[in-house]
Amino acid sequence: MGQLNLPDFARIYIDTVVWIYAVEQDLSYGSLLAALWAKLQAGKIEVLTSELTLMEVLVIPIRYSDTFLIDAYEQLL
């Protein structure tokens, strides 16, 4: 798998699937997304997402009554 080349001091739009990979700790993409989270924590980028993201990420956790994931997504977003 490749790597992310992120500019400093940019606004980065993150779609629903990236939040799912991050929160649910998908091993396939964890190392790829590490650069994104590091730059966010360092204040070098700003992360944006859609207002629909919370609704989209909650579909499966609500279906399976997974209160841990519901709480994690609600706190994050």
Three-state DSSP state, 55: helix
Give the count of beta carbons closer than 10 Å to the beta carbon of residue 56.
16
In angstroms, the Cα distances linking 30 to 27, 64, 67 are 5, 24, 23
Task: Render pLDDT for 7-57 as a digit per residue (tens, 0 to 9).
Answer: 889 999 999 999 999 999 888 888 889 889 999 999 999 999 998 999 999
Give the count of beta carbons closer than 10 Å to the beta carbon of residue 72.
16
Three-state DSSP state, 57: helix
The reported pLDDT for the residue numbered 1 is 64
Q: What is the pTM of this model?
A: 0.83
